[in-house]
């Protein structure tokens, strides 16, 4: 019997294209997987021709319209393929989104949801109680990433290790900064002597990462301006941000940790993965400070919008996680602490 370990929020998710303007049916590449293609090939000729007229065979994906929308999205934000032929005619990626599913062992899976879906983001982030987890026995996603070779422990033990880390992230008696420090230590990232936080290099590293994430090709002058602005406002804005959004930030960290399959998300040891995790969170803080400065406010709605956009960049842009990984690769524990652990 298959077992899927997932946050309890997953069962409460209900796709609502009207609420999000069918965000996932726009601008992204919708790949046509083999199983769905075979389903299309069994349809009557007229339906088949209509569907394949919208397929870019060289990319094995749907040809999006000039507006960026999927050719099968109707005016009521519904999928014409699903309406006409049923759920089996959604591609694996459409049927699975926003669920992210990993195969961890022969019959063990983990599943979470990505914040790129605004409806899932509300469900995940705007909750007061800590995120809880459970086992279920029905796998409701066709797109599955095989992590059986990537995780360093047997599946059950890997899940327990993740849960130990998540307990650290959910320690509400500690500040978020302290929790992140404890997490680094838990995964073996230790330093021999206490290190002072180097605010200037911290800001410079984040400006660099931000530029790469947004493919912005920033000139040195622009980067310096960004660093200067960030340093000028950082303390005030972050104090408020961490105080007002502490539960939301905890939920973000827990979901991110579980959803990306840390501490084995990337090739490398646990300490290296933990560095990537912490640096990605600092990039969120950096974006929050810049958003507050440009909007002259920072509401929950601003936060949700920012997180959807940022996750999109981390998941889909060329620079995305690569810039964060490069940073983690380039620095030893001492320098990492001085730049990312406040």
For ligand SF4, the binding residues (CB under 6 A) are 15-17, 20, 22-24, 97-98, 117, 119
Q: Smaller CB distance to ligand SF4: residue 181 or 313?
A: 313
Nearest to ligand SF4 of 99, 331 (CB atom): 99
Residues 6+ apart with CB under 8 A from 336: 189, 275, 328
Q: Is the four-CA dihedral 113, 119, 122, 127 of positive or negative sign?
A: negative
Q: Shortest approach of ligand SF4 to residue 277 CB, angstroms?
A: 24
Shortest separation between residue 98's beta carbon and ligand SF4, angstroms: 5
For residue 10, the minimal CB distance to ligand SF4 (Å) is 13
User: Among residues 25 and 183, whose Cβ is nearest to ligand SF4?
Assistant: 25
Distance between CA atoms of residues 178 and 180, nearest Å = 5
Residue number with CB closer to ligand SF4 (12 or 49): 12
Q: How far is CA 110 from CA 60, 159, 249, 265, 291, in A?
A: 28, 8, 22, 13, 33
**Residue whose CB is less far from ligand SF4, 18 or 42:** 18
Which residues have CB under 8 Å from 141's CB, separation 6+?
95, 96, 99, 101, 111
In this structure, what DSSP letter does residue 27 have?
A: S
CB of 122 to ligand SF4, least distance (A): 10
What's the min distance (Å) between Cβ of 309 and ligand SF4? 13
What sign for the dihedral angle of Cα 99, 268, 154, 170?
Answer: negative
Closest to ligand SF4 by CB, 12 or 16: 16
Q: How far is the CB of 13 from ligand SF4 (least distance, A)?
A: 8
Phi, then psi, of 109 in degrees rounded to 5: -130, 160
Q: How far is the CB of 94 from ligand SF4 (least distance, A)?
A: 8
Cβ closer to ligand SF4: 97 or 210?
97
Buried b (16+ CB within 10 A) or exposed e, 133-171: beebeebebbbbeebeeebeeebeebbebbeebbebbbe
Please give the backbone phi and psi of residue 206, each rounded to the nearest 5 degrees, phi first. Answer: -70, -35
């Amino acid at each position: 019997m298959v077992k899927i370990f997932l946050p309890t929020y997953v069962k409460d998710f209900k796709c609502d294209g009207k609420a999000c303007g069918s965000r996932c049916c726009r601008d992204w590449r919708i790949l046509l997987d083999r199983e769905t293609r075979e389903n299309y090939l069994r349809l009557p000729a007229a339906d088949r021709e209509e569907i394949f007229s919208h397929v870019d065979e060289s990319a094995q994906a749907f040809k999006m319209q000039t507006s960026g929308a999927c050719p099968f999205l109707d005016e009521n934000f519904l999928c014409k393929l699903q309406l006409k032929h049923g759920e089996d005619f959604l591609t694996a990626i459409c049927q699975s989104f926003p669920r992210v599913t990993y195969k961890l062992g022969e019959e063990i899976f983990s599943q979470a949801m990505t914040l790129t879906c605004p409806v899932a983001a509300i469900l995940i982030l705007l909750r007061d109680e800590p995120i809880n987890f459970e086992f279920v026995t029905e796998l409701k996603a066709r797109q599955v990433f095989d992590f059986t070779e990537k995780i360093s422990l047997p599946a059950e033990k890997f899940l327990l290790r993740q849960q130990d880390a998540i307990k650290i992230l959910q320690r509400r008696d500690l500040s978020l900064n302290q929790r992140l420090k404890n997490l680094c230590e838990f995964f073996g990232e230790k330093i021999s002597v206490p290190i002072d936080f180097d605010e200037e290099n911290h800001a410079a590293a984040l400006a660099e990462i931000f530029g790469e994430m947004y493919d912005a090709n920033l000139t040195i002058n622009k980067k310096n301006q960004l660093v200067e602005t960030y340093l000028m406002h950082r303390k005030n804005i972050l104090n408020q941000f961490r105080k007002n959004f502490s539960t939301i930030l905890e939920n973000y960290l827990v979901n991110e940790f579980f959803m990306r399959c840390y501490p084995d998300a990337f090739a490398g040891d646990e300490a290296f993965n933990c560095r990537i995790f912490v640096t990605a969170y600092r990039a969120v803080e950096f974006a929050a400070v810049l958003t507050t400065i440009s909007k002259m406010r920072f509401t929950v709605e601003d936060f949700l919008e920012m997180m959807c956009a940022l996750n999109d960049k981390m998941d889909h842009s060329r620079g995305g996680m690569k810039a964060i990984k490069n940073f983690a690769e380039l620095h030893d524990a001492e320098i990492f602490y001085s730049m990312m652990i406040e």
